[in-house]
């Protein structure tokens, strides 16, 4: 059996490294940081870890419905296509910064992209 994307990217240590870079980018991006401005940083980090584990096709139990539910409150406060694109941008830039090969970045981006309608509640 060939290694999964999650394994090829580097598993949990890669997720941790990615969260460090990604979360800093997101908090510095005025277009979207209001969505992440939860005072409880540990909870936010746990969710960012879940985000990357999922984008890397790693072990998670999220269904499309879960993605809908997780973001439903954000959609109510205005989450839209532009915000989604900004997150995709930071995802790509983060993985580039970590020197992840381009074909693996494309795979991760495709997984994240596939959640677009659920995340945006469409």
E runs forming strands in 45-108: none
Query: Which range, of 39-47, 56-64, 81-89, 108-116, touches other proteins by CB under 8 A?
Result: 39-47
Q: Are 84 and 120 in contact (CB under 8 A)?
A: yes
Site string for ligand HEM, 48-67 (x = CB under 6 A): --xx--xx------x-----
Helix (H, G, I), strand (E, B) or coil at 29: coil
Q: Which does 47 bind (CB under 5 to 8 A by kind): ligand HEM, other proteins, none?
A: ligand HEM
Helix pair angle (41-55, 11-27), 10° resolution: 120
Tell the residue number behind the tokens 């969260």, with chain if given.
Answer: 19
Residues that bind ligand HEM (CB under 6 A): 32, 35-36, 38, 47, 50-51, 54-55, 62, 70-71, 74, 79, 83-84, 87-88, 112, 115, 119
């Amino acid at each position: 059996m060939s290694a999964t994307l999650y394994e090829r990217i580097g598993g949990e240590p890669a997720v941790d490294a990615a969260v460090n870079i990604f979360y800093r980018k997101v908090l510095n991006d005025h277009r979207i940081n209001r969505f992440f401005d939860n005072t409880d940083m540990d909870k936010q980090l746990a969710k960012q870890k879940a985000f990357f584990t999922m984008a890397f096709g790693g072990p998670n139990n999220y269904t499309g419905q879960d993605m809908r539910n997780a973001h439903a409150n954000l959609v109510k406060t205005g989450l839209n296509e532009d915000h989604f694109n900004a997150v995709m941008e930071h995802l790509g830039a983060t993985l580039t910064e970590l020197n992840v090969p381009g074909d693996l970045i494309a795979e991760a981006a495709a997984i994240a992209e596939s959640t677009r309608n659920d995340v945006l509640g469409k």
